[in-house]
Amino acid sequence: MMASADRPILTFHQWSYLRSELIWIYDHPVPREFHHAKWDRTEGHWAWYVRKGRAKVTSDSGTLTATAGMWLFVPREEAHQDFSPDIHLLSVYFLCQWPSGENLFVHKGGAVLKGSGYPQLARVAERLERLVRKNIPEADIRYATQTGDYSMFLRLQRQFFLWLDLWFKARISCGASLTRLHAGDDRAIRAIRCLNDAPLDRGFPLSWLMEETGGLSLSHLDRIFVQEFSLTTRKYWERRRMQEAKIYLETSMLPIKEIGHRTGFHSDAHFVIWFKRLVGQSPLQYRKSPRDPTRPKRFFN
């Protein structure tokens, strides 16, 4: 099989670097207070299947409108959404990105597809949503931070990957091009895997990084890392901490102090200062601000 500009061919080991993770899935009417909202999404992917009503999203890439029986793949950029009063969505939010944090597809704009052309996409999403609801009744947007045994995780993950394959094929069919693994230096890949796998609450994994990269000094490793990913290892570590903090704030009701501890802060005050400096909002303000305005109201309280 030959590679093309939009369909790179990699080893299966390289494909394994992709982080594919379900963050949440739910199926319900959208609360009225979120029918008109602005948001800015850059990480992850949102897929909405319109059960009833009309969903319209306007961004720099244009305006997308979906009605009952259609899929709307939400743009990963600043946008405005406008829903009809009777809107009901099946919503899937998930990550599919390289270790560098780059999303799988190049284009930030979204797309609208007729569900009749991709019937399995909705059917498998429905099965996944029912499976999640059956095993974790209170999951909704809290799926990523729920707990269970490995067997349950595998059952849910298997259904998610079935849906992910259908979503991937649907995106390709409407002309989406893929990004690819950019790192040419294997030491940079080993370093970024280390940074992704290290427990956040134990701090920056300097000794593990040195071991994984053959004893390179941090300054030498950073020169390689910047060349491959355009940021230092510590900047990447901070970005990962922020991503995890946002997921906890969006998908759990954990106390702010606990989220700070899980992301490596020994003081909740230091966590709040750090978060506000980088985001412009305190963690509490961020939690109350709907990143996905279709979330049930009870999660903003």
Q: How confident is the model at residue 44 (pLDDT cuts 50, 70, 90)?
A: confident
**Average pLDDT value for residue range 270-289:** 92
Q: How many CB atoms lie within 10 A of CB 252?
A: 18
What residue spans in the chain does CATH classification 1.10.10.60 cover?
186-288
CA distance 277 to 13: 38
Task: Return the closest-CA partner of residue 90 out of 56, 124, 117.
Answer: 124
**Does pTM top 0.85 for this prediction?**
no
Q: For residue 44, give the 3-state DSSP assignment.
A: coil
Superfamily of 186-288 according to CATH: Homeodomain-like (1.10.10.60)
What residue spans in the chain does CATH classification 2.60.120 cover?
14-180
Q: What is the DSSP letter of 139?
A: -
Report which listed range, 3-7, 12-16, 95-99, is most confident.
Answer: 95-99
Quote the tokens at residue 249. Answer: 């704030």
Percent of the chain with pLDDT over 90: 56
Q: How confident is the model at residue 290 (pLDDT cuts 50, 70, 90)?
A: low
Q: What is the structure's pLDDT at 181?
A: 66
30: CB partners within 8 A, 6+ apart: 83, 87, 88, 89, 293, 294
Residues 215-257 have pLDDT tens digits of 999 999 999 999 888 889 999 999 999 989 998 998 888 899 9
Residues 98-128 have pLDDT tens digits of 877 788 887 778 899 999 999 999 999 999 9
Find out whether 154 and 60 touch, Cβ atoms under 8 Å. Answer: no
Is residue 152 over pLDDT 90?
Answer: yes
CA distance 45 to 163: 13
How would CATH label the architecture of 14-180? Answer: Sandwich (2.60)
Q: Which of 9-23, 163-177, 179-193 has the lowest mean pLDDT?
A: 179-193
Task: Return the closest-CA partner of residue 221 out of 207, 208, 232.
Answer: 232
Residues 174-207 have pLDDT tens digits of 888 887 766 567 888 889 889 988 999 999 999 9
Q: For residue 145, give the 3-state DSSP assignment.
A: helix
What is the sign, positive or negative, of the torsion defined by CA atoms of 77, 46, 113, 160? positive
